[in-house]
Amino acid sequence: MTTIYITRHGETEWNKQGRFQGSLNSELTEKGLLAAELLSERIENLDLDFIIASPLKRAYQTAEIVRGMKDVEIIKESGLQEISLGEFEGMRYDEIKNSRGDILKKIEKDPFANRYPNGENLIEFYNRVEKTFKNIIQQYKGKNILVVAHGGTIKSIECYYKNIKIEKDWIGNVVSNCSLTCIEIDENNNIKELFYNDIEHLKGKVAYNQ
C-alpha cells in the first residue's frame, strides 16, 4: 500500500495581496510560517519515507518547516510547480483586467485553449501535473510520502485521482494553505481518498486568528 499525504504551501504575501503567483515567488507570511509549524506538529508521528516538493521557494520552504526533526529527504520535483501564468505573474486581477482585459476575457472563456501570455494553458498544466503524479505513484510504490505543492497543482491531482475533468473556474476552488489531504493506492493502482483539505490542526490557532 502506498500512502500519499498532500499539502499546499503556507500563505504568502502575494496570496494576501491577491496577486497571481504562478512560477514566480513571494515570501511566506507570519501566518504561513505558523501554519506550516502547526502542520509539522500534526504529522509529527507519521512515518514518512520521502517528502516531494515543488522547487518554488514557497513550497520548498514549507516542506522544510513541515519536516521538523524528521530525518527525511526532501526531493524537488519541477513537475509539481504551479501553472505558469507568464506575463500575468505578480499582477492583481484588477491590474490584469485594466491592462490586458482582452486577453483575460479569452482565457476566462476558454482556459483550455488559450494560454496565459508566455505561460501555459489549463490543458498543458493539467497534463504536466498528471504525468508527474503518475510517475510519483510508480516510483514510490509501497512508500509513505508527503507532497508539498500549490493550489492549482493539487486541484489537478484531485481531478486525476477522482477521474473528473478540471473545470475552467478551478482557480477559485483550491485547497487551503497548509491543509492536509491523504490518499491510499493499492497494488492495482486503485486510489482511495481518506480525507481532503483537512484543517483541524489550524482551527482555533493564531494562524487563523490574525
CA distance 6 to 68: 16
- For residue 110, what is its C-alpha cell? 476558454
Task: Give the mean pLDDT per block of 10 residues along the chain (210 residues).
Answer: 97 93 93 96 95 98 96 97 95 92 91 94 96 97 97 96 88 90 94 96 63
Residue 210's pLDDT is 47
Instruction: Using alpha carbons, list the distances in angstroms from residue 33 to 64, 181, 183, 207.
Output: 11, 19, 25, 9
Q: Is the pTM of this model over 0.95?
A: no
Contacts of 162-167 spanning 24+ positions with Cβ under 8 A: 162/193, 166/122, 166/126
Rg (CA), the chain: 17
Q: Domains along the chain?
A: 2-84+121-208 (3.40.50.1240)
